[in-house]
Amino acid sequence: MSKPNTPRFSYTRFKAACLRRRPPPGDAGNIEDLERKDRYYLLHQASQLGPVFSAQGTDRSWVCIIGLARCRRFLQAHAKNLHGYMHDLEPMVPGGALRRMEGEIHRKYRKALLSGIQFDALFREDEALHDIVSVALARYEGSLGQDHAAAQSYIGTLTEIATASRIKIFFGVGAGQPLFDTLLRGYHKLGPFGLVWNIGKQQTTAFAEIRRALLSFMSDSDDEDRECFNNSIAGKLAANHVLDDTLLGNLIYMIEMGRYDLAGLLRWLSRYGAAHPHHLDRLASERWEQAKRQDSFAHAFVLETLRTDKSERLTRIVERDLLFEGYLIPKDTYVRLCLWEAHHDPATFVKPFDFNPDRFMRESYGREQFAPFGLDHHLCPLANIAIRFGVVFLWQLATRYRLQSVADGLPVRGAYHWEPAHDFSVILNNRSGKAA
């Protein structure tokens, strides 16, 4: 193992010596570069160094923690001295992002948000969400993007699906309503090429436009539009008299964050559907009334995709020097709670690198074994909605099409997450043999 010699590692070791505590073992290699080259890098490090080890990032030190039970202990022991790694929304949203809130203010707004997430009401009429998927896939099926199997064309289709479904769920607005087109334009301006982490003037302007359009709609919509709005998350929050500027701002940005992640999930679902056509045939045999149940193969397929590729890490920033399992973790360190690695533990998941939805048909995994949406009080409140919409997409894909993969290859590390190969795409072959 090479000797750490970066300034941050030197400072950490100096502080550790003064406090007579040792830092976690590690080396000075850049974690981002090394992981891009080898997705299994952190697993290799853990096997050599143990489940708590140091790494070096571009501008600060990291500590990686392996094992869900251990990660949960860390969060429980030091919750008051950690904050989440999230956009600073305070220039636009009073109080900032829910993910960054702590203590009583976090409990207040999380409770308020949960009061609006009434699952049965949101999915009482699945038809609207099914239509969003079927219309977009049919358009792609008949497009030049399909003929050329262009990855960007398919990614664009999935982003369209993710954005439209989120707008419908959050605000009750669908295609054909003037507000829907206004919101689409606003979100395209907010993140024209994907999620923008460093918020600039363009994002601030787009956010303000979206907010103004929503406030106008909520105060001046007709009865039919109002009924759709009333069944949305924002509608339930308004009925509960808790939809203030902070919650509205968070809802707006949750769509922006969520549509990027959801499009990524849909791409992984497509990839595994194309790679395992027998699974897709099995999905196609399920009627919707069965597919939407939690004991369905469709549901298991979504969970296995989350386990295999779409749950990677949680990040916390240390606000004061901490001690954990005998190690010093200094202030300003980034702590990476390693979900992907935990979800590939052979002690929990037999043949963990095989894609096998049936494992979720046979067994029920506890929160110390499977945690695709978080570990602590910041557990994603939209987890069940994401799973259910994944099932909607997958069922539409499976019942309408047979998939042919194009340019599949090894996963790559994208801007924020691991993704299928850059050029991966699919050709949609209609199961009926007719164009949609």
pLDDT in tens, 279-291: 999 999 999 999 9
H-helix or E-strand spanning residue 20: none
Confidence of residue 231 (pLDDT cuts 50, 70, 90): confident
pLDDT in tens, 79-110: 889 887 777 787 789 988 888 888 899 899 99
CB 2 within 8 A of CB 12: no
Q: Is the pLDDT of residue 431 over 60?
A: yes
State the pLDDT at residue 14.
56
Question: Quick one: tokens of 420?
Answer: 């299928």
State the pLDDT at residue 99.
82
Residue 359: name the closest of 419, 289, 306 by CA: 306
How large a percentage of the chain has pLDDT more than 70?
Answer: 92
Residue 303: name the closest of 374, 379, 351, 356 by CA: 356
CB 45 within 8 A of CB 70: no
**What residues contact residue 137 under an 8 Å CB cut-off, 6+ apart?**
157, 161, 396, 397, 400, 401, 428, 436
Query: Could you write out the DSSP letters of every residue in 148-203?
Result: HT-HHHHHHHHHHHHHHHHHHHHH---TTSHHHHHHHHHHHHH-BTB--SS--HHH
For the entire predicted model, the pTM comes to 0.91
Confidence of residue 149 (pLDDT cuts 50, 70, 90): low
Please check whether the domain covering 1-86+312-344 is classified as CATH 3.30.465.10. no
H-helix or E-strand spanning residue 82: strand 82-84
Percentage helix, strand, coil, to 5, in the chain? Answer: 55, 15, 35
Burial 123-161 (b: 16+ CB within 10 A, else e): beebebbeebbbbbbbebbebebbeebbbebbbbbbbbb
Confidence of residue 3 (pLDDT cuts 50, 70, 90): very low
